Amino acid sequence: MTANHDLERRIADFYATEPVLRAPDRVLGNALTAIESTPQRRVLMQAPWRFRPLNTYAKLAIAAVAIVAVAFTVRTLMPGNNIGGPPTHGPAGTPLSSPTPDATATQVAALELPADDRPLEPARYYVVVPGSDVRVEFAVLETDWRGNGWYLASPRGSLSFWTVANVYANACEESLLPDPPVGPSVDELVAALDAQENTDLQRLDNPSVGRYPSTRIIMELSARLGTACLGENLELWVGPGGQPGRSIDVQEPPGGREDVMWLVDAGGNRVVIGGYYDRTAPEEARSFTDLIDSIQFVLP
Amino acid sequence: MQAELVDQARRGDREAFAVLAGSAVDRLYGIARLILRDAELAEDATQDALVRAWRDLPALRDVDRFDAWMYRLIVRACADVGRERRRWRTEITVLSTEPSEPDRASDLADRDQLERGLLRLSPAQRAILTLHFHLGLSPGEAAEALAIPVGTAKSRLHYAIEALRAAIEADERLTVGTQRKDRTA
């Protein structure tokens, strides 16, 4: 901890003594010249993520093109056509339905999710869940997702992948980690999060993810926070080796977004998939469920 | 005052936008220099961010979040510029000033070590360090600026610090001989 503090102090000192820079005049000049010929993206002020209203024929035409395009992309990228291969079985569990391998099918290799916030092309990507050897493959169908290593983000929210080593007994007290730590099963994790002080857990349903069973939950602030909750966010859990885990902001999240999580038992490997989006917004919700539905696990 | 300008600009008022851009350009350029560690790339990223700001401003729902929104744009622009140009890996721009007194040599050495360590990080890692340590944004504020959950921002910051630590240690292993020469020069 001392070494951490020393390095952070050095970093802070470094940035504090950085000279104040003035941008060359050409920067502003070039930008203002460019905007003379740059139109603004016009949106409805009430719903900035939606397009201007269209007449019926235009809507039907666009919908038809979109259906054909999505169907082609989904057929290419989604599992079920043995693209990417059938899931590997772990020693402790089995998928909910047996795969039917097709030796003649073409395998499309998943790309490693970039870690530099770059825009993602529609393709299959994979993440090795931090703190584990479990590989999660998924399809990105929309063009505004950006890759960041263990999570991906879009204007609609973000999706991240976690290994949970232990759960804080009190989300406002980082010093209180139970000993022994939370057990390895999904049910034990759900119970620990449900018992956590200053947060509320809401069970949603039990969808399958990558053909493995999961429990989908929402974690949110308790209606009444304790006096220990003076910070700006509540910590839910820690990863292996004390790596920081997921937290909840005490500020109201923008646009009705929620912390939706899928707790998956992937053949005895517990994987938590953290979503951050507005379930009540159809376009946002569909974007995330499409991604979840495309998941395949590759187990160690 | 800024809120009014933002509202005017997002309705197409180029003069209002010019005022906003003029007041923000130095700050954005400074952030870009810290992320990209290259003056020319920082100019490109700042220009890109300003043009994107003009183009996408109508989509900004809350005019009071203009600054946080601009931080997001400059970080994205730095990521795009850094990736497309791929020059940050090969060009080293030392931003620290020359020491004027011999007894500041150790401070300069420490600073240079951090500088070399930062050069080994990705623009995304330098971005979270810049937002937190240079702009003083809390993880929550950085999360808002980057449109990511707070926990993700904290994890990203943690990993960036650890990556910097590893980079410094790697640099120490590589430059021990050089440092000995410097000390005896």
The ipTM (two decimal places) reads 0.79
Mean per-residue pLDDT over chain B, rounded:
81
Q: Reduce the DSSP state of residue B157 to 3 states and report it.
A: helix
pLDDT beyond 70 at A275:
yes
Which residues from chain B sit within 8 angstroms of residue A34, using beta carbons?
Answer: 47, 51
* Separation CA A124–CA A230 (nearest Å): 42
What are A278's two structure tokens?
Answer: 């507005």
Retrieve residue B7's tokens: 């509202």
Q: Which residues make Cβ contacts (< 8 Å) with residue B44, sequence separation at least 6?
A: B81, B85
Residue A279 has pLDDT above 80, yes or no: yes
State the best of B25, B37, B172 to mutate against chain A, taking most chain A CBs within 10 Å: B25
Residues of chain B with pLDDT under 70: 83-105, 175-185
Q: Which residue has tokens 């000995």? A: B180
> Which of A126, A84, A91 has the alpha carbon at shortest distance from A265?
A91
DSSP A72-131: HHHHHHSTTSSTT-PPPPPSS---SS-----TTSPPPPPEEPPSS-EEPPSEEEEEE-TT
What per-residue confidence (pLDDT) applies to A63?
A: 53
Question: Between residues 117 and 146 of chain A, which touch chain B (CB distance below 8 Å)?
Answer: 117-118
Residue closest to A279 by CA, chosen among A199, A220, A209: A220
Q: Taking 80 as the threshold, does the pLDDT of residue A89 lie above it?
A: no
Stated as kind and residue range, the H or E segment containing A200 is strand A199-205
What is the pLDDT at residue A220?
A: 87
CB contact under 8 Å between A247 and B21, yes or no, is no
Cα angle A45, A50, A53 (rounded to 5 degrees) comes to 85
Q: What is the pLDDT of residue B79?
A: 78
A161 touches chain B (CB under 8 A): no
Select from A117, A229, A232, A246 the residue whose CB has the most chain B CBs within 10 Å, as the one to mutate to test that interface. A117
Q: Give residue A48's identity as a one-letter amino acid code.
A: P
Side chain identity, residue A77 = L
Q: Residue B120 corresponds to which tokens in the numbers above?
A: 């080994």
Whole-number pLDDT of residue B104: 62
Distance from B150 to chain A by nearest Cα, in Å?
6
Percent of chain A with pLDDT over 90: 39
For residue B76, the chain A residues in CB contact (below 8 A) are 117
Say if the Cβ atoms of A11 and B129 lie within 8 Å.
Answer: yes
Reference B155, options B142, B168, B173; nearest CA is B142
Sign of dihedral through CA atoms B123, B126, B131, B132?
positive
Contact A23 B28 (CB under 8 A): yes
Contact status of A10 with chain B (Cβ, < 8 Å)? yes
* Contact flag A232-B164 (C-beta cutoff 8 Å): no
Q: Measured between CB atoms, does A251 come within 8 Å of chain B?
A: yes
- Local confidence band at A203 (pLDDT 50, 70, 90 cut-offs): very high
Q: Are B97 and A19 in contact (CB under 8 A)?
A: yes
pLDDT of B175 reads 64
Taking phi over 0 as left and psi of -120 to 50 as alpha, with beta for the rest, A149 belongs to left
Predicted confidence band at A51 (pLDDT cuts at 50, 70, 90)? very low
Distance, in Å, from the CA atom of A56 to the CA atom of A248, rounded to the nearest integer, reads 42
**pLDDT range class, residue A85, cuts 50, 70, 90:** very low
CA distance A123 to A120: 8
Between the ranges A16-20, A89-93, B105-109, where is the mean pLDDT highest?
A: A16-20
Indicate which of B54, B135, B168 best probes the interface with A, i.e. most A CBs within 10 Å of its own CB.
B54
Alpha carbon of B141: minimum distance to chain A alpha carbons (Å)? 10
Q: Do A35 and B57 touch (CB under 8 A)?
A: no
Question: Taking residues A150-166, what's their average pLDDT?
Answer: 88
Q: A253: pLDDT confidence band, cut at 50, 70 and 90?
A: low
Could you tell me the two tokens for B143? 């999360």
| Cβ proximity of A295 and A209 under 8 Å | yes
Rounded to whole angstroms, how far apart are CA atoms A43 and A53?
10
C-alpha triplet B153, A132, A260: angle, nearest 5°: 50
Residues of A in contact with B17 (CB under 8 A): 35
User: Is A49's CB within 8 Å of B154's CB?
Assistant: no
| Mean pLDDT, range A196-224, rounded to an integer | 92
Distance CA A269, CA A300 (A): 9
Chain A residues within 8 A of B134 when measuring between CB atoms: 15, 18
Contact B79 A153 (CB under 8 A): no
pTM given for the model: 0.56
Q: Would you say residue A119 has pLDDT above 90?
A: no
Which of B14, B46, B110 shows the shortest C-beta gap to A35?
B14
Give the number of beta-carbon pairs within 8 Å between A and B: 181
What is residue B43's predicted lDDT score, i.e. its pLDDT? 94
Contact between A270 and A213 (Cβ < 8 Å): no
pLDDT of residue A96: 52
| Cα A6 to Cα A11, A78, A93, A263, B119, distances in angstroms | 9, 48, 45, 37, 20
For residue B114, count CB atoms less than 10 angstroms from its CB and return exposed for 0-12, middle for 13-18, buried for 19 or more: buried
State the pLDDT at residue A174: 74
- Average pLDDT of chain A is 78
pLDDT at A88 over 50: no
Q: What is the mean pLDDT of residues A167-183?
A: 86
Q: Do A246 and B151 touch (CB under 8 A)?
A: yes
**Do the Cβ atoms of B29 and A22 come within 8 Å?**
yes
Give A108→chain B minimum CA distance, Å: 25
Average pLDDT (A87-99) is 43
pLDDT value at residue A101: 39
Q: Which residues of A touch B156 (CB under 8 A)?
A: 148
